[in-house]
C-alpha cells in the first residue's frame, strides 16, 4: 500500500464518520511569526483547539504538510526525515476517548491491515503532586480493543524513560508513562503550565518491527526506547484540563481530541520494514540514484547519501512549491542548505550534474512532483514545474562555483598539515564549503581536523543566529518605526501594570504591534472590570510621565531569570540574552527578555499621546486580549 492510498483511505475513513476534510496549510505559517515553518499537524488549528469556532464544524480531518529543520543533521539513519505528512483528526468539543481510540485502532487494523499483535500503546500514569488522575479510561478502552482481536493486553506501569529501560516490557501491551511522555500542553509538564493553559493526557500507538534490542540505549527495551525496535505511528491528545487560579486543574468546558499520525511511519509499518526509505515516497528517487551511480543502496559507504538526497529533495520541492527562494537568511537559508547538502552527496555518489537534464537533484524533484501533484495542487501545472526545477538547478550551479572557490582555500590550509577549528569554520561560513567535505578531503590527505572545536564554533554561531531570529519574531513588531517603537515600550509597561492590578499569574501569551496600535494576549480567566482597566491605564500613563530610563543589558540567561525578567511563553532563549528594564536593574519597574527596539526614556512615549485601552476581550479559554493606542 503506497502513501497516496493510505492518505486517501484515512481521509475517507474519517469523512465517513462525519469529519470535514480541510486542506493542508502552507509550510510557511500564516499569522504566526514565532516559527519559520509549519512543524506539526495541529499548528494551523491551535486557535480552534483553544476555543474559537471552526467554520467547517467540530469534526475535522486532514493531511498536513510539516517540516522540521532541527532534524536536518539527523537524516541518514533509517527513520529521520525533515518533511513529512501528518494525518490528523480533531474533535472540537464533540467526541472523546471512547470514539477516538477505537476509530484509530480500526483504521490501522481493518483498513491498513496491520497485525494487532505488533501494536503497543501508552497512557498517562497520572500526576499525584498536581492531583491529575491516571488515565484509566484510555487503558481500559485499549484492553477491550485488543481483547476483541484475541489478544490479552497486560497493563504495565513504567513511569519515566529511565524506568522503562530498567524495568523492560514485562510481557505488557499497554504501558503507563509519566507526564514527560504522555502529557501534552504547550508548556510541557503540568507544573510548568500557567493559569489558563489547557492540556491533557495523550495515548500513543507504537509498531513493533521485532528488531533485536541495542543495549547502548538501555538495559531493557520498551515502547519509548530509541533502539529502533518500536516506531511511534500515532498519538491521540485528549485536551480536557485547564490550570486554575489556585494552581489546581479543572475540566475544560469543551474537551477536544487532537490526533496526529505520521503518514510515512504508518506506511513503513504497513510494509513491515523499519527502513522508512523503503516506502514509495523515497524508493523511486533512490532507485534513480542506484541506476545512474552504479552503487548499491545497501553499501554502508553510500547508504546515508542515498537517504539524504531522497529526503532533502522531497522537502525542497515542497518548500519551493510554497513560495520560498534560496537565500542566506531564515527560510531561504534552510532551503539553500537542503539543496547544497543534497548536491554534496550527489557528488559523493558520482552522479551527473553537467546540465539541468543530467541533474539528479532536478530529476528527484520531478519524481516528487509527479507523485504528489494530485494531492497538492501547488505542485501541479507548468508554472510550478518550471519554478521548482529551475530554482534547484540554479542553486546547484551556484554551489558548484562556490565549491571551486572553497577548494582553493582548502588547499591553502591543507598545505600546513593541520586544519584548525577556526579555519574549518571560515571554510564553511565564508566560503560555503561543507564541513563533511572538509573532513573527507582531510582524511584522504591524512590531515587532522579539530572536529570538536569546529562543533563548538558552530554551536556558538547557532545560538547567536537563534537569538537574532527570536529578537526579530518574538516581539511581534510590524516594523521598527518611531511610532511602533513607542508602542513597544508601552507594551512592556502594560504587561507590568496588568500584573500589578490582576496578579502575578498574568503572563504574555502573544503580541502584535503596529504604528497604529498595540495588542497583547495574556493569561487571565475573567473579563476585566471597568475599574481594573482604568487602573491599568493610570499606571501606564504615570510611568510615562515619570520619565524613567529604558536600559538594555546583556547578561546570562539564568541571571536574568533570577531577576524575575519576564519572557514570552514557550520561547527558547540562548545562554546570553538581551534584557530591557524600565528604570535601573536594581530598582526597575519592569524587566523583560527582549531584542528591542525601545525608546531611551518613557517620556518619549508621551510625545505620541496618552495611553488608552480601546478593547478588552476573550480570545480563548483563560486568555484575554487588550488593544491599546496612544491618542
Q: Residues 372-406: pLDDT tens digits?
A: 999 999 999 999 999 999 999 999 998 888 888 88
Average pLDDT, the chain: 90
HSE-up of residue 436 (Cα within 13 Å, Cβ side): 11
Q: Which sign does the torsion angle of CA 384, 388, 393, 395 carry?
A: positive
Contact 22, 60 (CB under 8 A): yes
d(Cα 417, Cα 622) in Å, to the nearest integer?
Answer: 63
Read off the pLDDT band of 475 (50, 70, 90): very low
- How large is the angle between the packed helices 263-270 and 3-15, nearest 10 degrees? 110
pLDDT in tens, 572-591: 566 777 889 998 887 899 99
Q: Is the pLDDT confidence value at 148 over 60?
A: yes
Mean pLDDT score, 446-475 = 68
Q: What pLDDT sits at residue 151?
A: 97
pLDDT at 469 over 50: no
Q: Are 150 and 204 in contact (CB under 8 A)?
A: no
* 8-25 average pLDDT score: 96
Confidence (pLDDT) at 474: 42
Which residues lie below 8 Å from residue 204, measured CB to CB, with a gap of 6+? 121, 122, 182, 223, 232, 234, 235, 236
What would the pLDDT profile of 199-242 be if each residue is shown by its tens digit?
Answer: 999 999 999 999 999 999 999 999 999 999 999 999 999 999 98
Residue 468 has pLDDT above 50, yes or no: no
> Any idea where the domains of the chain sit in the sequence?
3-276, 279-402, 416-470, 475-630
Q: Among 496, 500, 498, 477, which residue's Cα sits nearest to residue 488?
A: 477
Residues of the chain with pLDDT > 70, as a percent, come to 94
Question: What is the CATH T-level fold of the domain 475-630, as seen in this structure?
Answer: 3.30.980
What mean pLDDT comes out for the span 244-264?
A: 92
Question: Per-residue pLDDT tens for 487-539?
Answer: 999 999 999 999 999 998 898 887 888 889 999 988 898 999 999 999 999 99
Residue 198 DSSP symbol: E
Whole-angstrom Cα distance, residue 207 to residue 112? Answer: 13
Identify the CATH class of 3-276.
alpha beta
404-423 CB burial, b ≥16 within 10 A, e <16:
eebeeebeebbeeeebebeb
> Cβ–Cβ contacts within 10 Å for residue 290, how many?
16
Please name the residues in contact with 340: beta carbons below 8 A apart, sequence gap of 6 or more.
395, 399, 432, 434
- CB neighbours of 91 closer than 8 A, spacing ≥ 6? 58, 59, 99, 100, 256, 257
CB atoms within 10 A of CB 609: 12
- Residue 100's CB is within 10 A of a number of other CB atoms, namely 22
How far is it, in rounded angstroms, from Cα 619 to Cα 542? 28
Band of pLDDT at residue 467, cut at 50, 70 and 90: low
Quote the CA–CA distance of 428 and 287 in Å, as a whole number.
Answer: 31
Are 506 and 470 spatial neighbours (Cβ–Cβ below 8 Å)? no
Q: What percentage of the chain has pLDDT greater than the value 90?
A: 60
Cβ neighbours of residue 313 under 8 Å, at least 6 residues apart? 285, 338, 339, 342, 361, 364, 365, 368, 392
C-alpha distances (whole Å) from 575 to each of 294, 452, 469, 593, 629 are 48, 20, 15, 12, 35
For helices 360-372 and 330-348, the axis angle rounded to 10 degrees is 120
With cut-offs at 50, 70 and 90, classify the pLDDT of residue 34.
Answer: low
CB half-sphere exposure, 208, CA atoms < 13 A: 16
Among the ranges given (429-438, 473-482, 580-589), the one the predictor scored with the smallest mean pLDDT: 473-482
Q: What is the pLDDT of residue 577?
A: 79
Closest by alpha carbon to 406, among 445, 452, 369, 438?
A: 438
Asked whether the predicted pLDDT for residue 78 surpasses 60, the reply is yes
Q: Give, as one character, the DSSP assignment of residue 30.
A: S
Query: Which residues, 6+ apart, have CB-to-CB distance to 597 below 8 Å?
Result: 477, 480, 485, 488
Neighbours of 127 (CB within 10 A): 18
How many beta carbons lie within 10 A of that of residue 447, not counting itself? 17
Q: Are 551 and 584 in contact (CB under 8 A)?
A: yes
Average pLDDT for 149-159? 96
Q: Evaluate whether 39 touches 64 at the Cβ level (below 8 Å).
A: no
Q: Which residues of 52-78 are buried (b: 16+ CB within 10 A; e: fewer)?
A: eebeeebbbbbbbbbbbbeebeebeeb
Give the dihedral of Cα atoms 274, 79, 572, 165; nearest 10 deg. Answer: 40
Amino acid at each position: 500500500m503506497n502513501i497516496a492510498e493510505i492518505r486517501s483511505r484515512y481521509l475517507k475513513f474519517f469523512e465517513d464518520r462525519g469529519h470535514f476534510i480541510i486542506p493542508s496549510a502552507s509550510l510557511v505559517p500564516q499569522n504566526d511569526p514565532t516559527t519559520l515553518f509549519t512543524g506539526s499537524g495541529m499548528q494551523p488549528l491551535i486557535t480552534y483547539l483553544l476555543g474559537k469556532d471552526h467554520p467547517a464544524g467540530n469534526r475535522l480531518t486532514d493531511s498536513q504538510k510539516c517540516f522540521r529543520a532541527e532534524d536536518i543533521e539527523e537524516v541518514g539513519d533509517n527513520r529521520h526525515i525533515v518533511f513529512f505528512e501528518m494525518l490528523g483528526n480533531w474533535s472540537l468539543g464533540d467526541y472523546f476517548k471512547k470514539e477516538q481510540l477505537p476509530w484509530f485502532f480500526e483504521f490501522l487494523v481493518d483498513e491498513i491491515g496491520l497485525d494487532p499483535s505488533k501494536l503497543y500503546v501508552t497512557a498517562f500514569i497520572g500526576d499525584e503532586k498536581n492531583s491529575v488522575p491516571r488515565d484509566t479510561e484510555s487503558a481500559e478502552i485499549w484492553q477491550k480493543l485488543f481483547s476483541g482481536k484475541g489478544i490479552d493486553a497486560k497493563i504495565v506501569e513504567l513511569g519515566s524513560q529511565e524506568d522503562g529501560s530498567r524495568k523492560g516490557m514485562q510481557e505488557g501491551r499497554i504501558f503507563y508513562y509519566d507526564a514527560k511522555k504522555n502529557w501534552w500542553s504547550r508548556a510541557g509538564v503540568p507544573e510548568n503550565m500557567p493559569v489558563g493553559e489547557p492540556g491533557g493526557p495523550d495515548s500513543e500507538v507504537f509498531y513493533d518491527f521485532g528488531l533485536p534490542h541495542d543495549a547502548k540505549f538501555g538495559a531493557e527495551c520498551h515502547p519509548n526506547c530509541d533502539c529502533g525496535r518500536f516506531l511511534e505511528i500515532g498519538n491521540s491528545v485528549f485536551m480536557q484540563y485547564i490550570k486554575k487560579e489556585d494552581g489546581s486543574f479543572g475540566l475544560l468546558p469543551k474537551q477536544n481530541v487532537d490526533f496526529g499520525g505520521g503518514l510515512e511511519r504508518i506506511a513503513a509499518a504497513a510494509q513491515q520494514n523499519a527502513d522508512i526509505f523503503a516506502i514509495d515516497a523515497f524508493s523511486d528517487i533512490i532507485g534513480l540514484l542506484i541506476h545512474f551511480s552504479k552503487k548499491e543502496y545497501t553499501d554502508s559507504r553510500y547508504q546515508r547519501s542515498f537517504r539524504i538526497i531522497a529526503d532533502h529533495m522531497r522537502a525542497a520541492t515542497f518548500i519551493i512549491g510554497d513560495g520560498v527562494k534560496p537565500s542566506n537568511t531564515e527560510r531561504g537559508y534552510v532551503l539553500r542548505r537542503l539543496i547544497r547538502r543534497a548536491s554534496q552527496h550527489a557528488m559523493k555518489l558520482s552522479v551527473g550534474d553537467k546540465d539541468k537534464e543530467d541533474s539528479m537533484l532536478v530529476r528527484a524533484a520531478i519524481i516528487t512532483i509527479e507523485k504528489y501533484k494530485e494531492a497538492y495542487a501547488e505542485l501541479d501545472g507548468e508554472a510550478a514545474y518550471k519554478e521548482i526545477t529551475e530554482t534547484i538547478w540554479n542553486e546547484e550551479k551556484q554551489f558548484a562555483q562556490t565549491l571551486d572557490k572553497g577548494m582553493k582555500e582548502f588547499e591553502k590550509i591543507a598545505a600546513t598539515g593541520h586544519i584548525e577549528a577556526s579555519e574549518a569554520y571560515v571554510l564553511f561560513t565564508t566560503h560555503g564549503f561543507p564541513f563533511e567535505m572538509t573532513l573527507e578531503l582531510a582524511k584522504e590527505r591524512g590531515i587532522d581536523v579539530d572536529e570538536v572545536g569546529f562543533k563548538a564554533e558552530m554551536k556558538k554561531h547557532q545560538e547567536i543566529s537563534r537569538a537574532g531570529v527570536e529578537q526579530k519574531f518574538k516581539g511581534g513588531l510590524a516594523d521598527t518605526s518611531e511610532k511602533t517603537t513607542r508602542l513597544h515600550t508601552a507594551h512592556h509597561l502594560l504587561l507590568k501594570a496588568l500584573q500589578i492590578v490582576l496578579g502575578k499569574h498574568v503572563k504574555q501569551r502573544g503580541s502584535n504591534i503596529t504604528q497604529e496600535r498595540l495588542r497583547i494576549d495574556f493569561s487571565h480567566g475573567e473579563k476585566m472590570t471597568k475599574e481594573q482597566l482604568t487602573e491599568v491605564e493610570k499606571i501606564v500613563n504615570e510611568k510615562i510621565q515619570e520619565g524613567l530610563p529604558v536600559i538594555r543589558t546583556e547578561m546570562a540567561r539564568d541571571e536574568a531569570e533570577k531577576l524575575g525578567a519576564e519572557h514570552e511563553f514557550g520561547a527558547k532563549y540562548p545562554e546570553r540574552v538581551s534584557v530591557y528594564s524600565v528604570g535601573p536593574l536594581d530598582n526597575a519597574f519592569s524587566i523583560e527578555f527582549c531584542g528591542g527596539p525601545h525608546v531611551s526614556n518613557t517620556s518619549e512615549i508621551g510625545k505620541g499621546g496618552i495611553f488608552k485601552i480601546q478593547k478588552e476581550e476573550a480570545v480563548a479559554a483563560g486568555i484575554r486580549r487588550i488593544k491599546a493606542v496612544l491618542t
